[in-house]
Structure formats: C-alpha cells, structure tokens
C-alpha cells in the first residue's frame, strides 16, 4: 500500500519546521508520495539583506527557494501546485473559495495524511488561519465521498512547554521574546492536544540545509546568529495535533504521521 502525504499551506517555507524531518524519514521509501500545495508565492514577505530580490521579483524568487529547499532535503515533491493567490489576501479570497480549490486537489490525490498549520496559524497570520480553516473543511468534504485515503488530518503547532523553553532561551541571550497575542508572533498550544511527536534528530542536518535555502526569509524563519547545533536541536522534533480522527482519551503519543494507519 502506498503512503501519500499532502502538505497544504499558504506560503513557501510554511512547511519547513513541521514536515522536513518527516519527508526525509520517508524519502527512500518507494511507496511514499509527496504532494504539496502553496496558495501564494510569498511575494509580500521580507527580503533579507544581501538577497538580490525586489518586491516585484520576490514571488518568483521564493518559489525557486522552495524548490531549492526540497532539493537540499533530498526529496522533491511528486506534485507541487502553486495557486498564485495574493500573499496577505487569502482572507479576502475567502475560505469557501479556498476550500473548493483544495478539495479538488485532495480528490485527485486521495492522500493518506493531510497536514496544514493549526487553527491559530502558529503565528496568528491571517493567511495561515484561512488556509487551516479551508483545508480542514476540504478534508472533511472529500473524506465524506467514496474513495481511499484521507485517514488523518494534522495541524502543525508548537507545544506550550516547548514554546516556553524557547522563550527562556531568548531571554538568556538578551533577545526579544515572542508576544503570543501579537499577529506574526509565534505562540504555543496546550501540550495535551498533541498526538504526534517525531524524533527527527537523524535528519536534522538535511532539514537545516533545506531551511537555509529560504535565504530571503532567513531573518524571519531562523536566527542567522544562532549556531547550527542550536538550530538542529530545534529541528530534532516535529509535533502535530491530530485534528481527525478525534484523539481518544489515553491515546499514546505516535512517533510518525503514518503510524497506526490501515
């Protein structure tokens, strides 16, 4: 039986901390299929110093960075769709429109596992929140139709205990901490919501190499002043809320996104 993982997110690099380790883990499995959908090109993002992109070229630049990242990880997607919707404008596009487009993608692929960011967007970004809602609705719509797949829906997030350790790390180094009630700032979710925690330490080198390919966003998605060893610690785990099926009381923590599936 094949194993298909669908990643459905708003911007290039939204998948970086939540899926690179998992993809690397399964990259040599001939039954593994990776399909990715990005709603925007990320043309509204920042441009790091020294990157020769402009506001007019940033979208194309970030698409290329995303391809470079998968290549550095060692596993290109088997299918990669770019919707080209406006960065920062997904709320205006509307959840209903996004849902139908995502549902069409899921119908064609019938993935076993669908993953997106959590309902809080992890950073409170309106695009993230819109994509989380639309992907969740599309998953349940397609799941209700005849056909295989769609066995698990995952919401990426940061356990509160891990978030607090990160805040302490920042304080000890005299760096600004995240303000969880402020849009575009990281935030944690209650630890008890999480149902999957992977050990990605064997793949941290590859994940870090991939993240570094997002050069235009390096001051946003990783601290360029941090050491590789510090950032590999951050990349040593991936955590997911199992949005569907509902987590049973006392259900043990899973160690892989495909664990326990038929």
Q: What percent of the chain has pLDDT over 70?
A: 100
Please report the domains of the chain, with CATH numbers, ordered by start residue.
Answer: 3-158+189-244 (3.40.50.10320)
Nearest to 21 by CA among 155, 207, 205: 207
pLDDT value at position 59? 98
pLDDT band at 75 (very low <50, low <70, confident <90, very high): very high
Condensed to tens digits (0 to 9), the pLDDT of residues 12-31 reads 999 999 999 999 999 999 99
- First CA to last CA across the chain, in angstroms? 9
- Can you tell me the mean pLDDT for 98-125? 97
Condensed to tens digits (0 to 9), the pLDDT of residues 211-224 reads 999 999 998 887 77
pLDDT value at position 226? 80
User: Which two tokens mark 131?
Assistant: 């994509």
* Cα–Cα dist 145/178, whole Å: 42
103-139 CB burial, b ≥16 within 10 A, e <16: bebbeebbbbbbbbbbbbbbbbbbbbbbbbbbbbbbb
- Strands (DSSP E) along the chain, which ranges? 3-9, 32-40, 79-85, 113-117, 152-156, 194-199, 237-244
Condensed to tens digits (0 to 9), the pLDDT of residues 241-258 reads 999 998 888 889 999 999
pLDDT value at position 224? 73
* Cα–Cα dist 10/15, whole Å: 9
pTM assigned to the model = 0.96
- Can you tell me the mean pLDDT for 80-99? 97
Q: Are 40 and 69 in contact (CB under 8 A)?
A: no
pLDDT band at 43 (very low <50, low <70, confident <90, very high): very high
pLDDT value at position 239? 97
Q: What percent of the chain has pLDDT over 90?
A: 91
Average pLDDT of the chain is 95
pLDDT band at 163 (very low <50, low <70, confident <90, very high): very high
- Can you tell me the mean pLDDT for 197-212? 96
- Can you tell me the mean pLDDT for 128-148? 98
pLDDT value at position 144? 97
The enclosing H or E element of 208 equals helix 204-212
* pLDDT value at 1 more than 70: no
């Amino acid at each position: 039986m094949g194993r298909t993982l669908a990643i459905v997110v708003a911007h290039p690099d939204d998948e970086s901390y939540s899926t690179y380790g998992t993809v690397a883990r399964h990259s040599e499995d001939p039954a593994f299929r990776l399909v990715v959908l990005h709603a925007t090109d990320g043309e509204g993002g920042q441009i790091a110093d020294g990157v020769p992109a402009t506001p007019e070229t940033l979208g194309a630049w970030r698409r290329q960075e995303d391809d470079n990242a998968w290549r550095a990880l060692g596993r290109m997607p088997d299918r990669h769709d770019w919707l080209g919707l406006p960065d920062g404008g997904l709320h205006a596009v509307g959840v209903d429109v996004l849902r139908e487009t995502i549902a069409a993608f899921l119908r064609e692929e019938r993935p076993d596992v669908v993953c997106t960011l959590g309902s809080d967007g992890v950073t409170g970004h309106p695009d993230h929140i819109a994509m989380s809602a639309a992907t969740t609705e599309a998953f349940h719509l397609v799941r209700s139709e005849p056909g295989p797949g769609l066995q698990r829906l995952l919401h990426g997030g940061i356990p509160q205990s891990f978030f607090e350790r990160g805040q302490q790390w920042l304080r000890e180094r005299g760096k600004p901490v995240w303000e969880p009630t402020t849009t575009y700032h990281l935030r944690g979710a209650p630890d008890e919501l999480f149902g999957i925690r992977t050990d990605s330490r064997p793949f941290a080198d590859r994940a870090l190499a991939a993240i570094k390919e997002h050069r235009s966003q390096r001051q946003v998605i990783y601290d360029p002043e941090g050491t590789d060893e510090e950032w590999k610690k951050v990349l040593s785990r991936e955590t997911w809320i199992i949005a569907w099926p509902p987590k049973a009381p006392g259900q043990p923590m899973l160690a892989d996104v495909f664990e326990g599936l038929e």
